[in-house]
Homo-oligomer: A and B are copies of this chain.
Amino acid sequence: MNYKIKSRIWIETDDNVFLGEGRVRLLKAIDTKGSLSKAAKSIGMSYKKAWTLLDAVNKSAKKPVVITSVGGKNGGGATLTPYGKSLISAFETINKGCWTYLDKQLDQINNI
């Protein structure tokens, strides 16, 4: 059995984690579901954890990432801003590039 190289990347501001793979997955679910509770349920995450993650994202973001509203037409909801969509896109592009870089290095480990 050969070795595999795995990686995790994330974005920080002042030692606060801002964006990682789990948060990106949550943001994408928010984009398709339109609500935080439905997004959390769709990815098997508790509402509380989802709310905590979203709160951390919004607190350390330079511009708003998700707009939430309480009460109203359908009880409220959460929508991803264009800035949030761009962030997700950039994150995933960089992440894929990291994977392909690591794949190219695999021989250095397996051929020792």
Contact = CB atoms under 8 A, between A and B. Distances in A.
Contacts of A101: 97-98, 101
Interface in A44-98: 62, 83, 86-87, 90-91, 93-94, 97-98
A101 B14 CA distance: 21
| Integer count of this chain's copies in the complex | 2
Interface residues of A, number: 31
Interface of A: 1-14, 18, 62, 83, 86-87, 90-91, 93-94, 97-98, 101-102, 105, 108-109, 112
Contact of A8 (B4, B7, B90, B93): B7
Given A12-B6, A14-B1, A83 B112 contact: yes
